[in-house]
Structure 1
Amino acid sequence: MSISIKRILQLTVAATAVALAGFAQAQQVLRVSAIPDEAPTELQRKFKPLGGYLEQKLGMKVEFVPVTDYAASVEGLVNNKLDMVWFGGFTFVQAKIRSGGKVIPIVQREEDEKFRSVFITTSPAINKLEDLKGKTFTFGSESSTSGHLMPRSFLLSANINPDTDMKRVAFSGAHDATVAAVSGGKVDAGALNISVWEKLVAQGKVDSKAVRVFYTTPGYFDYNWTVRADMDPALRKKLTDAFLALNANDPQGKEVLELQRATRFIPSKVENYEQIEKAARNAGLLK
């Protein structure tokens, strides 16, 4: 072999090694996001301790990537721009359909087995769902499970069509924004997830004497952490095990679980969200 050909082969091998090293380094960042169902600053605050915990367990950098809306969280995962996303049940269903079934829910909070939504108002004239006829109302985001899909589903089950029976229907964009709209008198009533409502009450960020819950829905499956199906199985197992290992009896686990408003995490599966998909189709929200 001539010196020149040998040198070319050496350079080729070296270049390939550098490229592979660069690829490996790129894979050492886990890109995580969440549906923007609360203010961006709150999402960052909630994620920081979890991100640190996952970095310790995985031995790789974990980066939180904020998204502008619910649809962007779905597209980010489907188009390989994100590796793991905190989805609501409806956004998981959307991601499943959009990807052709190439996403996997790995864990959910124990609370997400029987999640609920609350309907709130400041009006003494509203005490049951039927009283919403002719009133102004706000959901959260259009793609929210607990802030739109399931509240709409339960309204329809009570023979109330929000689009025809209410005076005006709006979308606030987030659960905390729904509370602000109701408490500020912009609408007569609204619906949001019970977890955010209880947090805002506990933090004194809502006057529960002025704003009250007049209806709480039955339970349904909701949030989960979802990954792409093409994620390395070993990494997926590490991620799942890390969530399942979170324990409220140790300080780090307690901090993470409290910020995630979770007692503990449990395994999740696609079949859990069949009710959500059926409700979405019945409400005309999935074509």
Structure 2
Amino acid sequence: MKRTLSVLLTLAVFLCALSAQAADIKIGVLAKNGPAKVMKKWAATGEYLAAKLGKSVEIVPLGFDKVNPAIEANSVDFFLVNSSMFITAKVKFGASAVATMINSRQGKALKSFGGVIIASAYNDAINSIEDIKGKSFMAVKKSSFGGWQMAYKTIKDKGIDPFSDFASVDFAGKHDNVVFAIQNEVAQAGTVRTDTIERMVAAGAIAMEDFKVINKQTSDFPFVYSTTLYPEWPMAKTAATSDALAQEVAAALKAVKQDDAAAKKAKIIGWTDALDYGPVEDLQKALAVGAYAN
């Protein structure tokens, strides 16, 4: 009996200690390349916020299948996911954006991104989206906003259903794999997130002249692209997180400077006021994906 009581007392003390150590703020981050990379990129942001706010902050890596359950259960206070996943959380679980990331790509400050549709420069049969009918197509994954959904919307707006009008639609899992599939003629056309091509060229992995951009758009955006541009990833709060705390976090994030460790480690420029994610929701409705999946 005494031993049982001793064990229970020890367990109670242990649980109390765990409770005492619980972070004041938990930030879930999509672990698209694994938990280790999340911590490498975002631990410094947690440290920055802890110093700014005087509160303990925990970065919580979340796999694709763990994001929605964590948001629904309010087991994190804030979360950082792609823009389409945010809309799903907004519609289904009452989440709201508090700030938008200013990304740093090839030395450029970007508040938006898009998709680029590519084919081999030596494939004379494909020069437009319409030309992809009857051809094989490669994308990243169905849940990839920049690596599939943006191009899917652009293709659908042309009156084309890729799943019935293309010879095939396959998913390579990673952006670079799609580019290599086009280069090696595994697929005749494909789509990746903007800046992928330029990044791979800069790394010496491919040559720009080996590819052509389909449905090429023109603006002051610094990378080749084929689709509408959409706002970058948001930092968002879950429904249970107070507006007061959200305002504190948003103000601290917007004070991040490009030379701060938080920005350098995350490879971003900083943060700005939350942009309008309405066009992302419109995309989900049009494609019946995310919050609007049938």
TM-score by length of 2: 0.75
1:29 Cα deviation from its structure 2 partner: 5.4
Give 3-state SS (helix, strand or coil) of 1:65's partner: strand
Correspondence for 2:51 among 56, 72, 79? 56
SS at match of 1:154: helix
CA distance in 1, matches of 2:85, 2:172: 17
Runs of 4+ more than 6 Å apart: none
Shift of 1:107: 0.9
**Unaligned stretches of 5+ residues in structure 2:** 1-11, 104-109, 217-224
> RMSD in angstroms over aligned alpha carbons?
3.0
Q: Equivalent residue of 2:116, what SS?
A: strand
Within a 5 Å distance, the mapping from 1:3-42 to structure 2 comes to 23=19, 25-28=21-24, 30-34=26-30, 36=32, 38=33, 42=37
Partner of 1:87: 81
- TM alignment of 1:113-128, pairs within 5 A: 113-125=111-123, 126-128=126-128
Deviates more, 1:239-248 or 1:191-200: 191-200
**Alignment-mate amino acid for residue 235 of structure 1:** L
Contact 1:57-1:238 at 8 Å conserved across structures: no
Residues 211 and 145 of structure 1, relative CA distance in 2, 3 Å threshold:
same
Distance 1:41 1:177, change over 3 A: farther
| Equivalent of 1:105 in 85, 91, 97 | 97
Q: Find out whether 1:282 has 2:289 as its counterpart.
A: no
Structure 1 segment 194-273 matched on structure 2, within 5 A: 194-214=194-214, 215=216, 216=225, 217-248=227-258, 250-252=259-261, 255-256=264-265, 259-260=267-268, 263-268=269-274, 272-273=276-277
Identity of aligned residues (%): 23
Report how far residue 152 of structure 1 moved: 0.7
Q: Is the 8 A contact 1:108 1:223 kept in 2?
A: yes
Aligned partners of 1:47 and 1:64 also within 8 Å: no
Residue 247 of structure 2 aligns to a residue whose secondary structure is: helix
User: In the aligned structure 2, how far is the partner of 1:154 from the partner of 1:169?
Assistant: 15
Distance in 2 separating the partners of 1:39 and 1:81: 20
Residue 85 of structure 2 aligns to a residue whose secondary structure is helix
Instruction: Return the offset for 1:245.
Output: 0.7
CA distance in 2, matches of 1:66, 1:41: 11
One-letter amino acid of the structure 2 residue matched with residue 203 of structure 1: A
Structure 1: segments with no counterpart, 5+ residues? 1-14
Aligned equivalents of 2:198, 2:34: Cα separation in 1: 16
CA distance in structure 1 between the partners assigned to 2:69 and 2:76 by the alignment = 9
* 1:153 shift after superposition: 0.8
TM-score (ref. length: structure 1): 0.76
- More deviation in 129-138 or 80-89? 80-89
Measured after TM superposition, the shift of residue 235 of structure 1 is 3.3
